[in-house]
Amino acid sequence: MRVDNRTFCRVALAAMLWLGAGCAPTPATAPASGPAEPGDSKGGQTAYTSMTMIDLETGMRLAAECKYSDAIKKLSTVLPVLEHSNDHKNAAECAFWMGFCEEKLGHYQLAANHYKKVVQQFSRQPVAEQAKLRLGVLPSAESRPKSPD
């Protein structure tokens, strides 16, 4: 049975969310003086604006819709905030989906970089195993067609 890219994207995203690798953390409540800033922490929990989570969800939705370039743009703004806030679960998810989108666009080295980041920096997160699997199926540099100069 052959599955097209669009179907694969939707199934992959649904499977990841179903397996508990979703994007619904419980960020700390913003201080009374105003909204939380990225990197603020209160009581050992990570605090950042709810806009960060909305952007992460939007990026993942764009990936599921096979709008890979748009997803990468959105997710690339979210990843540094999640990393700075020590939200390892969502940072790993974000990096994984950036790798997935780069892979689908044929940018295999960029995809590998994102997957390696997940495996190396977020090895305890559920999505790290998926990143290892994706690294294993990426075409090697020798098998890729050369780009025209």
Q: pLDDT, tens digit, for every residue of 69-84?
A: 999 999 999 999 999 9
Task: Tell me, yes or no, whether 4 lies in a domain.
Answer: no
pLDDT at residue 5 tops 70: no
CATH of the domain at 119: 1.25.40.10
Structural domain total, the chain:
1
Residue 80's domain comprises: 48-138
User: Is residue 67 included in any domain, yes or no?
Assistant: yes
Domain for residue 54, yes or no?
A: yes
| Helix/strand/coil percent split, the chain, to 5 | 60, 5, 40
Query: Residue 7 has what pLDDT?
Result: 57
Residue 70 in any domain: the answer is: yes
Query: In this structure, is residue 31 part of a structural domain?
Result: no
Which residues lie below 8 Å from residue 35, measured CB to CB, with a gap of 6+?
Answer: 49
Task: Summarize pLDDT for 120-144 with one digit per residue, the tens.
Answer: 999 999 999 999 999 999 997 544 5
Asked whether residue 115 is assigned to any structural domain, the reply reads: yes
**CA–CA separation, 25 vs 89, rounded Å?**
8
Q: For residue 113, what are its two tokens?
A: 């970089």
pTM of the model: 0.67
Q: Quick check: is 121 in a domain? A: yes
38 within some domain: no
Q: Could you tell me which residues come within 8 angstroms of residue 43 by beta carbon, excluding any fewer than 6 positions away?
A: 28
